[in-house]
Amino acid sequence: MKKWTSYHLRILKKQYTEKGAKYVAKRTGHPVYSVVAKANSLGIYSGSLRRWTQFEVNYLLKNYSNKPVDSIARSLTRNKASVENKARQLDIYVPKPKKWTDEQLKLLKELWTNKKYSIDDVAAKLNKTRPATHFQAWKMGLRRPQVWHYWTKEETKYLKKNFRKKTYVQIAKDLGMTRIAVFQKAIKSGLRLRRAPRAWTAADDEYIRQNYRKIPTRDIAAKLDRSLDAIINRAGPLGISRKKVKK
């Protein structure tokens, strides 16, 4: 990444507030997102720049991995560039996926309507994420085959025995079904109980303190087997803020 020289910093401090990120980027040769990030770190804000609220930050962290950037931008009444720049600052930015090739579209059409392949199987064969695969199929008007399955006594017994011990995904894999099929059967069978909330340990809290602003929040959630919301909500009582401290 290109370094910020003292000359570049002078331009940033003098022109950013009045003329904005694009002007500074053109003068310094730095990308716009780099200009915005540097300005924020120095506590410099553009007169036309709307600051991000904590609610918006939490919404972005929660939805960035499973919603298109355009959708998030509409929900927050921001432009796409603003959302992508903030994602870079939070270290959750993922480069725009490559366009679908004709071969991939053809294969998607063949596999999507074949009941032998799950959505995850199709995504894996296309080297795409599940949301991207599902969205592309929807755009093409493709529909999954409706597969009806009558639960046997043995399958129902297995579900009742394990629904508190295993996730729906694990049970579905064991029974050769989809997660939604297991979920619906559990609801119809009255299996609505869930484990009591897992208590936070001292080790959990210490891991969050050490890593909260250093690595992506989703990585912390994965490491501790928690949801993104759980990590964000826990950071408050621990006295951790996502705002950078001015030096």
Q: Which residues of 65-87 are buried (b: 16+ CB within 10 A; e: fewer)?
A: eebebeebbeebebeeebbbbbb
Query: For residues 52 and 40, is the Cβ–Cβ distance under 8 A?
Result: no
Whether 246 shows a pLDDT value over 50: the answer reads: no
pTM (two decimals): 0.30
Q: What is the pLDDT of residues 97-114, one digit of tens each?
A: 678 899 999 999 999 888
Residue 244: pLDDT band with limits 50, 70, 90: very low
Residue 1: pLDDT band with limits 50, 70, 90: low
Residue type, 156: T
145: which 2 tokens? 């085959």
- 208-213 contacts, C-beta under 8 A, 24 or more apart: 208/234, 208/235, 208/238, 208/240, 209/238, 209/240, 212/240, 212/242, 213/240, 213/242, 213/244
Q: What is the pLDDT of residues 29-53, one digit of tens each?
A: 998 888 888 887 887 766 556 778 8
Query: For residues 92 and 242, is the Cβ–Cβ distance under 8 A?
Result: no
Whether 139 shows a pLDDT value over 60: the answer reads: yes
